[in-house]
C-alpha cells in the first residue's frame, strides 16, 4: 500500500462519518417499518446538532448579506451529495427571492454531469478545485462556501485554500468535528451528526444537516435584503402560473383588495410584487412606489413608514 493510500485509509478510520452506528447494526434484518423507524430516530437528532451552531450560521447570514450589498456573490463548492445540495440551494434562490442567478451559484466536482451521475474521482484533486474556482472570476467581495461532509474532500479544500490566498472570505460546512479538519475557514460550521444509519452514506444525516444550514444562510441573508414582508416572500419571480396566482393572493392579503384589483396592480407594476404592494398600501403610482422602495433598500415596511 502506498503512503498516500495508507494515509487516506487511516483518515477514514478516524472520521465520525465513517464509523459504524451502534443503534443500526441489525438494520439488515429489519422489516420495512423497523428500517424507517431506525432512520427516523436518527434524523430526529440532526436539528439538535444544528442548533449548537446557530451563532456560526448567523455570522454566515450577516457575511453573505453584506457581500450582496457590495455586489458580491455566494459561491458554493462541493462534491457528491454536498455539491448537489449547494447547486440546489443556488437554483432555488431566484424563484423564491427574485434574485439574479449570478448572486448565488453552486458548483460541483465533475461539473454538470455530476448532478445526475456520480463522478466519484472528480473530488480527489485540490488543483481541479482551485482551477474551477478561478474560472468563476472571483472577487474580494464574494463569499465562498465549501461543503464537505467528511471535511477532507480535496476538491473543496483546494477551493478554500485558493480563496484564502486571494483574501476572499470563506465559510466551511461539514458534519465532522472541527478538531478533525485540516483547513480553517473564516467561519466553520461543523455539525457532527455522528455515524450514519448506513456507514459512510453521507446523503443521510449529513445531507439533512447541510440542507438545513444552507436553507438558513440564504433565507436569512435575503430576509436581510428586504425580500420578505412579515413571513411572506414578496419578491418572487412570476415564472409559472402557480407563482402568478400566489402573487395575486399576496397582494389581496396585504393590500386588502379584490382579486381583479390585484390583477390590475400586478399588470401596472410589470409583475413586480413589492411595487404592486407599495402602490396599493401607499396609494401611489408605479414610479412613485419604485422610487420609494429604492430609497429604502427594497424594504416595504421601511418604505411605508417613511411615507407616513
Instruction: Tell me the C-alpha distance between 201 and 128, whole Å.
Output: 24
Can 123 be counted among the known catalytic residues? yes
Q: Which residues contact 187 (CB under 8 A, 6 or more apart)?
A: 56, 59, 60, 63, 170, 171, 172
Environment class of 141 (CB within 10 Å of its CB; exposed 0-12, middle 13-18, buried 19+) = middle
Cβ atoms within 10 Å, residue 38: 17
- Residue 21 CB burial class (10 angstroms; 0-12, 13-18, ≥19): middle
Q: How distant is the alpha carbon of residue 296 from its chain centre?
A: 26
Query: Quick one: which of 247, 240, 246, 242 has its CA closest to 275?
Result: 247
Burial of 68 from C-beta contacts in 10 A (0-12 / 13-18 / 19+): buried
From the list 42, 56, 123, 196, the catalytic residue is: 123
> Any residues with CB less than 8 A from the CB of 108 and at least 6 apart, and which?
77, 78, 79, 80, 83, 84, 86, 87, 114, 115
Strand ranges for the chain from DSSP E: 74-78, 104-108, 143-147, 169-174, 187-190, 228-229, 232-233
Question: Phi first, then psi: what are they for 25, rounded to 5°?
Answer: -70, -15
Is position 92 annotated as part of the catalytic site?
Answer: yes
Choose, from 18, 92, 261, 288, the residue flagged as catalytic: 92
List CB contacts of 244: < 8 A, sequence separation 6 or more: 238, 266
Catalytic residues: 92, 123
Amino acid at each position: 500500500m502506498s503512503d498516500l493510500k495508507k494515509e487516506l485509509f487511516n483518515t477514514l478510520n478516524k472520521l465520525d462519518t465513517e464509523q459504524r452506528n451502534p443503534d443500526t447494526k441489525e438494520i439488515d434484518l429489519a422489516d420495512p417499518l423497523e428500517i424507517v423507524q431506525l432512520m427516523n430516530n436518527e434524523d430526529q437528532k440532526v436539528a439538535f446538532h444544528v442548533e449548537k451552531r446557530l451563532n456560526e450560521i448567523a455570522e454566515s447570514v450577516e457575511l453573505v448579506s453584506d457581500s450582496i450589498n457590495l455586489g458580491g456573490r455566494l459561491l458554493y463548492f462541493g462534491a457528491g451529495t454536498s455539491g448537489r445540495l449547494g447547486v440546489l440551494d443556488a437554483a432555488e434562490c431566484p424563484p423564491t427571492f427574485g434574485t439574479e442567478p449570478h448572486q448565488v451559484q453552486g458548483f460541483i466536482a465533475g461539473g454538470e454531469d455530476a448532478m445526475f451521475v456520480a463522478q466519484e474521482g472528480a473530488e480527489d484533486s485540490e488543483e481541479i478545485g482551485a482551477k474551477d474556482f478561478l474560472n468563476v472570476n472571483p472577487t474580494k467581495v464574494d463569499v465562498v462556501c465549501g461543503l464537505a461532509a467528511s471535511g477532507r474532500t480535496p476538491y473543496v479544500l483546494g477551493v478554500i485554500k485558493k480563496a484564502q490566498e486571494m483574501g476572499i472570505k470563506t465559510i466551511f460546512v461539514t458534519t465532522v468535528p472541527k478538531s478533525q479538519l485540516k483547513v480553517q475557514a473564516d467561519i466553520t460550521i461543523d455539525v457532527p451528526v455522528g455515524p450514519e444509519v448506513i456507514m459512510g452514506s453521507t446523503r443521510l444525516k449529513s445531507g439533512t444537516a447541510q440542507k438545513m444550514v444552507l436553507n438558513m444562510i440564504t433565507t436569512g441573508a435575503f430576509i436581510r435584503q428586504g425580500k420578505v414582508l412579515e413571513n411572506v416572500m414578496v419578491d418572487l419571480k412570476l415564472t409559472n402560473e402557480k407563482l402568478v396566482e400566489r402573487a395575486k393572493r399576496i397582494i389581496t392579503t396585504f393590500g386588502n383588495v379584490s382579486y381583479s384589483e390585484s390583477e390590475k396592480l400586478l399588470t401596472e407594476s410589470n409583475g413586480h410584487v413589492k411595487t404592486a404592494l407599495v402602490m396599493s398600501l401607499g396609494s401611489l403610482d408605479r414610479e412613485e412606489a419604485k422610487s420609494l422602495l429604492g430609497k429604502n433598500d427594497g424594504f416595504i415596511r421601511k418604505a411605508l413608514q417613511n411615507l407616513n
